[in-house]
Amino acid sequence: MSVFVNETTRLVVQGITGRDGSFHARQMLEYGTQIVAGVTPGKGGQLFEERVPVFHTVADAIAATAANTSVIYVPPVLAAGAIAEAADAGIKFIVCITEGIPVLDMARVLPFVRERGARLLGPNCPGLITPGIAKVGIIPGQICSPGRVGLVSRSGTLTYEVVNQLTRNGIGQSTCVGIGGDPLIGTSFIDVLRAFQDDPGTEAIVMLGEIGGTDEQKAAAFVADYVRKPVIGFIAGQTAPKGRRMGHAGAIISGASGTAEEKLHAFTAAGIEVMRRPADVVGLVKQVTSNR
């Protein structure tokens, strides 16, 4: 079992002929993801890797292939438009990898997506992977293994670090989800925590947060209220200075709010086991799963 992507995922890749889109589309095909279509306006009619049909629009792609999930690799200034196009065409799960989308663009497109009953993951995220079944995005497949730990994170390489620790120690994952490091994102920690709680294939949850904003604090309150599975949490940025954007646009401590201490305190109060460093994940997962 898994969340958001599984055997029924029929993927359309928006920006499939671009540099990043083509590279990652090949990686996803190799992993076994069912890519049924690609979209690049102006390149409709081509075949990608001699097997994936390319269309001018997402609507054309859906009509021809019954695609139900989209992943977006288009440049920042066009990305919000690509998200809107996917939602308008009827895609219900949209993953946007693009980094650097202007925040005002996101403020306009997020309500548009919700009104159409679609879910957006990202932007500025590594996507997600259900090990052994489907990978949508850029998470390296070889570091993941199938299992029963659900992982949700704001970052990319930190996720890889932690997943790698799990896999090397024989702990597999149900689904690994990167929600993205931007201030305005489509899917929050809470959305993913709820999905993991409701997924019978997930036994324990690892949540990797970072400084900035209040998403982790709200997620902690949600864990206390709703989540009955053990949760392990980490916050990156304990040594970050105030007022500076630490790479991710969302990773910024403003005034006294969004600090690591505040977030770790919320974790502890909600009964979340706190990782002091990435390597702690292995011991803590073993501990919480043997207690059950």
Partner 1 sequence: MNLHEYQARALLRAAGVPVPEGDVASTPAEVEAIARRLGSTVVVKAQVHAGGRGKAGGVKLASNPGEAGQVAAKILGMTIKGLVVEKVLVVPAAAIASESYVGLIMDRESQRPVFMVSSAGGVDIEEVAATAPEKIFRLPVDPRYGLMAHQALGLGLRLYTDYAQARAAAGIMQQLYGVFIANGASLAEINPLVTTPEGQVLALDAKISIDDNELDRRPDLAALRDESAEAPSEVAARQAGLTFIKLEGNVGCIVNGAGLAMATMDLVKYYGGEPANFLDIGGSSNPEKVVNALRIITADPSVRAILFNIFGGITRTDDVANGIVAATRQFTVDLPIVIRLTGTNEAEAFRILQGVGMRALSDMDEAVKQAVALAREAA
Out of 24, 56, 248, 265, pick the active-site residue.
248
Please confirm, yes or no, whether 265 is among the known catalytic residues: no
Kindly tell me which residue out of 28, 37, 82, 106 binds partner 1, with binding defined by CB under 8 A.
106
**Least distance CB 230 / partner 1 (angstroms):** 22
Residue 66 or residue 107: which is nearer to partner 1 going by CB?
A: 107
Among 25, 74, 208, 253, binds partner 1 (CB under 8 A): 208
Query: Closest Cα to residue 221, out of 279, 266, 275, 281?
Result: 266
Q: How far is the CB of 156 from partner 1 (least distance, A)?
A: 5
* 250 lines the binding site for partner 1 (CB under 8 A): yes
Q: Which stretch binds partner 1 (CB under 8 A): 35-43, 44-52, 108-116, 190-198?
A: 108-116
Interface with partner 1, residue 158, by CB under 8 A = yes
| Residue 200 binding partner 1, by CB under 8 A | no
- Tokens for 229, please give them: 């599975």
Bridge partners (DSSP) listed for residue 69: 11, 93
H or E segment to which residue 161 belongs: helix 157-168
Distant-in-sequence, close-in-space partners of 59: CB < 8 Å, separation ≥ 6 = 85, 88, 89, 90
Question: Measured from the CB of residue 223, what is the shortest distance to partner 1 in angstroms?
Answer: 18
Tokens describing residue 134: 């489907």
Contact letters (x/-) for partner 1, 77-96, by CB under 8 A? x-------------------
Contacts of residue 291, defined as CB under 8 A and 6 or more positions apart, other chains included, come to 230
Binder among 28, 177, 207, 236 for partner 1 (CB under 8 A): 236
Asked if 59 contacts 35 with a C-beta cutoff of 8 angstroms, the reply is no
Q: Does 122 bind partner 1 (CB under 8 A)?
A: no
Return the number of the residue (30 or 198) whose C-beta is nearest partner 1. Answer: 30
> Alpha carbon of 84 to those of 25, 77, 88, 95, 182: distances in Å?
21, 13, 6, 12, 18
Distances (CA, A) of 71 to 24, 77, 138, 200: 10, 16, 10, 26
d(CA 146, CA 151): 12
Contact 94/113 with Cβ under 8 angstroms?
yes
> How does DSSP assign 232-271, residue by residue?
EEEEE-TTPPTT---SSTT---BTTBS-HHHHHHHHHHTT
Q: Which is nearer to partner 1, 58 or 79 (CB)?
A: 79
* 191 contacts partner 1 (rule: CB under 8 A): no
Q: By CB under 8 A, tell whether 181 contacts partner 1.
A: yes
Residues 154 and 207: beta-carbon distance below 8 Å: no
CB nearer to partner 1: give 172 or 247: 247
Nearer to partner 1 by C-beta: 60 or 88?
88
Using the minimum distance from each CB to partner 1, give the nearer residue, 65 or 259: 259
Map residue 57 onto helix, strand or coil.
coil
Q: Is residue 242 part of the contact set for partner 1 (CB under 8 A)? A: no
Contacting residues toward partner 1, per CB under 8 A: 23, 76-77, 100-104, 106-108, 110-111, 138-140, 143, 153-161, 164, 181, 183-184, 208, 210-211, 213-215, 234, 236-241, 244-251, 255-256, 276-279
Residues with catalytic function = 248
